[in-house]
Homo-oligomer: A and B are copies of this chain.
């Protein structure tokens, strides 16, 4: 069996934890499995490097920031390989470049284009455990490019696909996917399994557990992902493609997200091509827009609202004056300090009553809803960020998630 294991930043936060992870990897490899390991930067290392960059330059150049941030994972990979060798296991730490992870040069938001796995295959062939720096790839120009926050999950799944792994295991500081974030909802329970689609909605809506592009990629290639704790031996949550979940027809979890900003363009002319003229420049600037809501038209003009990560707001605002003028809007307003709560479960949108129950539960908890969006298997409300905790607990109770299924 060939497995790609991924260990997150908390799991490799210090020397003791790195040795602990080395012990786990060594035991697995000792059992005869072929193991490839992906690691994140140690603890808060990425944030420390960003702070260092900001102390040198107020708006650090994106290419140089990527060169800097990539070192965080290089360190973890080298250290874990050392720890394994100290235990008598052959291992080799690899940068994203050495591991053959080629990515498009959109700095800070790179996309994996292809994986040339010859080096990893050769290391496995030679009996060495490859330890790969997550979160990064190399461009055609041989520069490092990072893949976005939390993208070490994506590195692991992409390697799993490229190497034909049987499954991908991501080890975190949580014991799996829960019905809600246990920090927000004390009565949250671990889910034993989850369909890719359900996990995707959980991830997109802000579960800190798995990176959404990683789940998308796993779903596309039907590569099962185990989410489990690196600290304790526990079964975790298996994310997989079957059996079909549509028949379950119930809420499987509630998900919160924070640090959301909202931008509303006022009185946008209701013309063909307007949306493209708004969102193309944002996409080119690497701003990832989440929810888009267009209010009902009044006198051929309409308000258009979209949400985005608060961290992207400055980049978006730098473009909004020009965008507003280019589409003939009367101006724009930005709002920060928003959050999201979502209920997720296959079939819930097509079944009657879930939305109404959600809105009722929020009303009873005294939470105002600012925006509503839905998908096949999710209903999301944007609320003030400081009300998200109350909203989560109210929804968790209202849909009976604290009781075993």
Contacts and interface: CB of A to CB of B under 8 A. Distances in A.
Interface of A: 15, 18-19, 49, 52-53, 55-61, 63-65, 67-68, 70-71, 74-75, 77-79, 81-83, 85-86, 92-93, 95, 97-98, 119, 142-143
A64 B78 contact: yes
Contacts of A67: 74, 77-78, 81, 93, 95
A142 B64 contact: no
* Most chain B CB within a 10 A radius of its CB, from A15, A63, A64, A68: A64
Contact of A75 (B60, B71, B83): B71
B15 A55 contact: yes
Contacts of A119: 142
Contacts of A52: 15, 75, 79
A97 B70 CA distance: 14
A9 to B, nearest CB: 15
A75 B56 CA distance: 12
Contact of A65 (B55, B74, B78, B97): B78
A83 B58 CA distance: 9
B82 A56 contact: yes
A119 to B, nearest CB: 8
Given A15-B52, A56-B18, A142-B98, A79 B85 contact: no
A68 B75 contact: yes
A78 B68 contact: yes
Contacts of A78: 53, 64-65, 67-68, 71
Given A64-B78, A64-B81, A71-B74, 8 more contacts: A59-B86, A61-B81, A64-B93, A65-B78, A67-B77, A67-B81, A68-B82, A71-B75
B82 A60 contact: yes
A82 B97 contact: no
10 contacts: A53-B79, A57-B86, A64-B93, A65-B78, A67-B95, A68-B75, A71-B71, A71-B75, A97-B142, A98-B143
Given A15-B55, A68-B79, A79-B56, A85 B98 contact: no
Contacts of A95: 67
A52 B78 CA distance: 11
B85 A61 contact: yes
B98 A86 contact: no
Nearest to A54: B15
Nearest to A90: B61
A63 B15 CA distance: 18
A130 to B, nearest CB: 12
A65 B81 CA distance: 10
B71 A57 contact: no
Nearest to A51: B15
A81 B93 CA distance: 27
Nearest to A87: B57
Contact of A85 (B64, B74, B92, B143): B64
Contact of A82 (B61, B70, B74, B86): B61
A67 B63 CA distance: 21
A231 B47 CA distance: 30
A56 B98 contact: no
A75 B93 CA distance: 18
Contacts of A81: 61, 64, 67
Contacts of A82: 53, 56-57, 60-61, 64-65, 68
Nearest to A18: B56
A97 B94 CA distance: 14
Contact of A86 (B56, B79, B85): B56
A336 B65 CA distance: 44
B74 A68 contact: yes
Contacts of A19: 56
